[in-house]
Amino acid sequence: MSSQSTISPSPRGGEGKHRYAMLLLLVALPASAHKGSDAYWTLRASGPVVSGRVEVALKDLEVLVGLDADGDGKVTWGEVKAKDAAVRTALTGALGLGQRVGLPSPSQGEGGSVDSACPLSLGEFSVTPHSDGMYLSVPVTARCAANVSELEVKYALLFDVDAQHRGLVSVSGETGGNWTAFTNNRRAQTLTFTSIGAGEQTGLAFFQGVHHIAIGWDHLCFLFALLLPSVLRRAGTDWVPRPAFKPTLLDVTKVVTAFTVAHSITLALAAFGFVTPNAKWVEVAIAISVALAAFNNLVPFVPETRWSLAFSLGLMHGFGFVAAIRDLGAAGPSLWLSVLGFNLGVEAGQLGIVAVFVPLAWLLRTKPAYRRFLMPLGSALILGIALWWTAQRL
């Protein structure tokens, strides 16, 4: 998990107020196009005590409780503190821990057990950076009735305002740990505070990779910019239909494989700490890569070797993917499994798009509307969106 910010509340008078004045937390509210709405909850069990931290994006809390009191599009530390009670109410209502202990309950019949709640206590607020902006970080502690090996965990934050939101929960105990995702359809789960099997861990990461593709608009735009001309070829200044499907499929395979290899390399390099790129400039570079891919469709500067364009620009997208792995807090063997599963999930999502788009484009390639309108206008639209993203991220 990201390191904690040094900004933290101080109840004392003048010195504390002066400190706030010097350390105003200014946060731009627009969401990143590369990453969806996620919150992070870490839990560590030691005997009957569970401790950890919940981290929620300030932009998400703005939607939930309205942090930006003056409506200037920025959030200050004072505005965060002014909503202290509202944030605590939202968190305690959305988070829950329970333990199954004791003998079977008569109302549950045989095989049931008594549920014992582990009341949550929230600590003082601070802020911490993530790949997509600043997050409010809140310490969480709970004391259960017995030593903890597994818990009934409830997470329901933000689902009523954003059905695509996820709660990524990392748990650990004396013998290992694991992580999982809470979604709108999975608001309660039984979590074990030990290491889970390699297959299950890889599977969890796989589905997160698929999800990342589904909500990663800049990655989708990049992919569509590469695929739009895949069923056409240049003849002078015009686009004409490709005559055979096999060469077309080969070209698409080259493009997708080049992109796969490129982002796999940078994903691994960054995930295992060989390189540490600046998250802001990675996001800027990704937006520029989308713009270049779309511009190449309109004014070809890499006309017959689009695979090389996919490879060179795909390197940036690998750095973008690593943010999702790093924010999960995966480490050690879990990191290897998470990188493998996540990358496979990304590829599955990508190949699913290719499998749907390319046959449809092949059927439409002979239509003048595709060559003269859909391909160039689609590319121009992607170019405009990418340029707007670039300006927004600078």
Residue keyed to tokens 């290897």: 336
Q: Is 276 exposed, middle or buried (0-12, 13-18, 19+ CB in 10 A)?
A: exposed
pLDDT at 102: 61
CA–CA distance, 152 with 97 (Å, rounded to integer): 6
Do 136 and 40 contact (CB within 8 A), yes or no? no
Strand runs labelled E in 13-94: 38-46, 49-57
The amino acid at residue 181 is A
- What is the phi-psi region of residue 310: left when phi exceeds 0, alpha when psi lies from -120 to 50, beta otherwise? alpha
Mean pLDDT of 42-55: 92
Main-chain phi, psi angles of 233, to 5 degrees: -140, 155
CB 137 within 8 A of CB 5: yes
At residue 9, the pLDDT reads 39
DSSP per residue, 105-138: PTTT-TT--EEEE--EEE---EEEEETTEEEEEE
- The predicted-structure confidence for 142-191, as pLDDT tens digits, reads as follows 999 988 888 999 999 999 988 888 898 888 877 667 778 898 999 999 98
Highest mean pLDDT among 3-12, 171-180, 290-299, 319-328: 290-299
pLDDT for 98: 92
Least reliable range by pLDDT among 117-121, 197-201, 229-233 = 197-201
Q: How would you classify residue 329: left for phi > 0, otherwise alpha for psi between -120 and 50, otherwise beta?
A: left
Q: Which has the higher per-residue pLDDT, 23 or 281?
A: 281
Q: In the predicted model, what is the mean pLDDT of residues 223-243? A: 87
Q: Which residue has the higher pLDDT, 74 or 379?
A: 379
- Identify which has the larger pLDDT, 4 or 202: 202
pLDDT over 50 at 379, yes or no:
yes
Rounded Cα distance, 119 and 311, in Å: 51
Give the per-residue pLDDT at 7: 38
Closest among 184, 222, 170 to 34, alpha carbons compared: 222
pLDDT at 282 over 60: yes
pLDDT of residue 187: 93
- Asked if the model's pLDDT at residue 18 lies above 50, the reply is no
In the predicted structure, residue 30 carries a pLDDT above the cut 80: no
Q: Output the pLDDT for position 137.
A: 94
Six-digit token pair at 321? 């993917």
Question: Rg (Cα) of the chain, in Å, rounded?
Answer: 24
Q: State whether residue 155 is helix, strand or coil.
A: strand
Q: Is the pLDDT of residue 208 over 90?
A: no
Q: How far apart are CA 210 and CA 232, in angstroms?
A: 28
Residue 357 one-letter amino acid: F
Choice among 93-107, 146-160, 257-271 with the minimum mean pLDDT: 93-107
What is the rounded distance in angstroms from the CA atom of residue 347 to the CA atom of residue 286? 18
Q: 196 vs 300, which has greater pLDDT?
A: 300
- Three-state DSSP at 328 gives coil
Question: Is pLDDT above 80 for 304?
Answer: no
Digit-coded pLDDT (tens) for 324-358: 666 555 556 667 777 888 888 888 888 889 889 99
The H-or-E segment that residue 170 falls in is strand 166-173
pLDDT given at position 121: 95
Sequence-ordered list of residues with C-beta below 8 angstroms from that of 283, at least 6 positions apart, any chain: 32, 34, 320, 393
Distance CA 308, CA 306 (A): 5
pTM score of the predicted model: 0.66
Of residues 280 and 126, which shows the higher confidence score?
126
